[in-house]
Amino acid sequence: MPLTQTDILRKAELLAGNLAGGPAQVKKNALLAVVADFMSDPKPDLDRLRRTMRLLKQGSGGHLKRGGGFGDQVKAVADELDRLMQQEGLTPGEYKSLFGWTARLLVVRGIGRQERVQARQRKEHPSFPSRDEGKRTLEKAPAAAPGKLGAVNQKGLSVLDKFKQQLLEREGKEKS
């Protein structure tokens, strides 16, 4: 009986948790590097994916020798997917959906982790800017009316004055 998307999503949450929670903290790119051929193939071959996992775990292709923790991530992906594929009896289409959802969840969880780190940095260092600080301010800025090149309307001047005040306040806090 085919799995529903909800069931696949539950499995993807477990897989993403196992990958992100391990010592290597796997990111989306490592997962997709391992399953890219499988995902892009119109008729994905599970036996070929299993052979790829076995070869990766043996060090074939030099992926495990890559620096920056990427090799550790690839090894963790190969180990976890090999274990998963031995346990689950999913169809190739279900595996494709599972890997796609898992990659997305790794991105979302990675962003959450980054925000926690940034919040801790802001708490320890109050002058540390937030990731969206400039973005939020620019989103609130009104669009300038079309006019002569270089012309600034009254709304634009008030936004510039607001930016100037914010910069002066920051400089004052840093000097204190």
pLDDT for the residue numbered 176: 67
SS3 171: helix
Between 12 and 159, the higher pLDDT residue: 12
pTM above 0.85, yes or no: no
Q: Are residues 140 and 96 in the same domain?
A: no
- In terms of domains, do 107 and 43 share one? yes
pLDDT digits (tens, 9 = 90+) for 102-158: 888 888 876 555 555 566 666 666 665 555 554 544 445 555 555 444 455 666 667
Same domain, 117 and 137: no
Q: Which domain holds residue 113?
A: 5-124
Q: pLDDT value at position 81? A: 87
Q: Are residues 76 and 144 in the same domain?
A: no
The per-residue pLDDT for 137 is: 46
Q: Which of 21, 10, 11 has the alpha carbon at shortest distance from 85? A: 11
pLDDT given at position 83: 87
SS3 37: helix
Q: Within 22-153, where are the H helices? A: 28-40, 46-57, 70-87, 92-124, 133-140
Contacting residues for 115 by C-beta, under 8 A, at least 6 apart: 131
* Residue that has been written with the tokens 């400089």 in this structure: 171
Count of structural domains within the chain: 2
Same domain as 167, residue 102: no
Residues 33 and 94 in one domain: yes
Residue 10 has pLDDT above 80, yes or no: yes
Res 138: pLDDT: 45
Q: Do 112 and 29 share a structural domain?
A: yes
Tell me how far apart the alpha carbons of residues 113 and 72 are, in angstroms, rounded to a whole number.
Answer: 19
Tokens found for residue 31: 């997962």
Which pLDDT tens digit goes with each residue over 45-89? 888 888 888 888 777 766 666 666 788 888 888 888 888 888 878
Q: Are residues 89 and 140 in the same domain?
A: no
Tell the residue number behind the tokens 């979302």, with chain if given.
108
Helix (H) or strand (E) holding 9: helix 5-21
Q: Which of 29-33, 65-69, 89-93 has the lowest mean pLDDT?
A: 65-69
